[in-house]
Amino acid sequence: MDASYDLHFDFDADGGADFFKNVSTFIASLDELNVAICSYVDSEITTRVILEGVENGSLKAKVKDVLKNIDGDKIRSYVKDPRDAIADFLIKAKDKLIELLEDDPKRLPNKADEIVCEIIEDSELKSYGYKHNKTTLLRAMSNLSQSTKGFKMPPRINLKGKEREVKSGYEFSADDLDGAIEQKSEFRGAFIIKKPDLAGASKWTIINGAAIDVKIIDEAWLKKLKSHEIALRYGDKIAGTLISKSVIDADLNVVSTDYYLDDILGIEASKSAEQRNLEIKE
């Protein structure tokens, strides 16, 4: 079974150039939430939210969650009809999570994971087993909540007979996670400059195996750069200490990683003949 439900957008308040772009972003966020919820049962389950139709004279859209990738044979040993069980689980979990987002978003960090687990415990899926995935779930709830900021009136969703507003009251932070740890590492080297930031800020893109965004925190070196004491070009190498700071949750998932460059030793000119000179903006 692919479960259908209703979305309601206020076109009179929000009808504008970005309206349908905002609707598309909102629906994509629902898809992300579906995948996060399903990951408690099986991380390989994928879904797609599709638009079934729009009522004449309004922007009440009927949508459904289509289960695209589900290993029914694996789950069928424990559950009579895996598709029906997953579809019912998705509807119930979304309804409870969005109810909490509407009523008391500050409780989401402590309650969201519990809500999903309780619904599994009360369903056939309990015998199949499940695992916690709190970080992914909270990120998805945050993205859904933040996707409503483009609307003047909150979108509404009717999953189980009651229309609820999807509000912009929750934004994920690593502080929402109990038991998260910070890991710091330092690496000294010379890194290719892909994109400098010379307009007074200190965000750069360098290449270290892959392109990464870094913040230069060597204030003395930045001061010399801005006073034209240092010349550099695209493709040059910047030598210094690359610092990474990662937040890791209790399930050993990397929540976020920030990169910094400190103790800058100097600039190594590239041997490429096609370099472009950089102009430093005052």
The model's pLDDT over 61-104, given as tens digits with 9 standing for 90+, comes to 778 787 776 766 678 778 888 888 898 999 999 999 999 999 99
| pLDDT attached to residue 115 | 97
C-alpha distances out from residue 3 to 62, 83, 185, Å = 10, 10, 47
Is this model's pTM higher than 0.75 or not?
Answer: yes
* Predicted local distance difference test score (pLDDT) of residue 237: 94
Place of tokens 């309004």: 58
Which pLDDT score, from 0 to 100, does residue 81 have? 85
* Exposure on the CB side of residue 156, measured as CA atoms within 13 A: 13
* Secondary structure letter of residue 124 according to DSSP: G
Q: CA separation (Å) from 218 to 11, 31, 164, 207, 242?
A: 50, 42, 49, 19, 11
Phi, psi dihedral angles at 223 (to 5 degrees): -65, -40
Q: State the amino acid at position 105 in one-letter form.
A: P
> Which segments in the chain show pLDDT lower than 50?
1, 57, 273-282
Determine the pLDDT at residue 200. 56
C-alpha to C-alpha distance for 175 and 188, rounded to whole angstroms: 30
The candidate with the shortest Cα–Cα distance to 34, out of 74, 81, 92, 115, is 92
The pLDDT of residue 114: 97
Tell me the CA end-to-end span of the chain in Å, nearest whole number: 62
Place of tokens 């994920």: 172
- Tokens 């034209």 belong to residue: 228
Residue 263 backbone class (left: φ over 0; alpha: ψ -120 to 50; beta: rest): left
pLDDT at 279: 47
Average pLDDT, the chain: 87
Token code pair at residue 70: 């589900």
